[in-house]
Amino acid sequence: MVSVQGRVSEERFLGHVWKLQEWIFKYTLRINRQRDSRHMDGDGRKKTTRTGGIHYRHELKFLCTQLQMELLEDQLGCLMEKDRHVGASGFYTVRSLYFDDYGNGAMKQKEDGLDERRKYRVRSYLRGGDEAFHLEIKHRAGDRIWKESCLLTREEVSLVLNGVFLEYGKNGTGSPVQESVRNRFETARETLLLKPAVIVEYDRVPYVYPEGNVRITLDRNICGSSETHKFMEKELTAVPVLERGRHLLEVKYDEYLPDVLRMALQVVSLDRVSFSKYYLCRMAGEPLKMLVE
């Protein structure tokens, strides 16, 4: 058992490490940005990883303690900007309604460790109070991800929750690409018998960095709920999926991760994990679902 005095000493030591790294980061930031500019094309646009015309992004996940999260926030705040959608609170709440087929294919793909997977979800950023929701199809190939999305109205989400099929091409609010996403979702609902499986909710602090199109997010209070019918209600019963003081760090980037950010992440010892919010929330929500029923 670690004594209180020992823990305080450890925190002080890590604080000194951060101060030492901070002035190194500030000194090397300009140099790294100049060097990273070689990854820009002739028009000043970011080069991206494309396979067969598909825009893939790399996604890495790490489990963090509360102390590690606080140290990372201090460092990332010096190097990156927060996402423009963050309000005065410094974070926003993400609520996602995930779907699965009649055979729980998404669950089994994760359990079998398949590299290529696909998930369907509807995402809210106002705890169900949105006027427009984001329908997403998320593809995964190993550590690379690719997302397609379109908007759904509040009325359309209500129809989906009640098991009503949406008419093809009747939305009229999106581009042909967005309509294609919507139509493929409806096809999957009809052929694979997709239905709401679980709600995943968490608080997110997002940082962005232009070179490499990097997005680093700090996710706290990850919880799941089997009350899928309450997706558009502010309050619902949810179960935490991580022990107290444990959080998730996600790193997403296109072609490369700038050295200055790689150095920042190496200051604290992070455990890289294969982490699926959907899977853990499904597992946590099953006992709750039996109690509710």
pLDDT 10s digits, 8-34: 566 666 555 555 555 554 544 444 444
What is the mean pLDDT of the segment spanning 125-140? 95
Query: 176: which residues sit within 8 A by CB, 6+ positions away?
Result: none
For the chain, the residue count is 293
Residue 197: closest CA among 64, 73, 79, 106 = 106
168: tokens are 């093809």
Question: Which CATH number describes the domain made up of 4-292?
Answer: 3.20.100.30
Read off the pLDDT of residues 224-261 as tens digits, 9 standing for 90 and up: 999 999 999 999 999 999 999 999 999 999 989 999 99
Which pLDDT value is given to residue 265? 92
Residue type, 196: P
CA distance 137 to 119: 6
CA distance 183 to 209: 33
The whole-model pTM stands at 0.81
Map out the domains of the chain as residue ranges: 4-292
Question: What are the backbone dihedrals phi and psi of residue 275, each rounded to the nearest 5 degrees, phi first?
Answer: -120, 125
58: tokens are 């790399």
Which pLDDT value is given to residue 177? 82
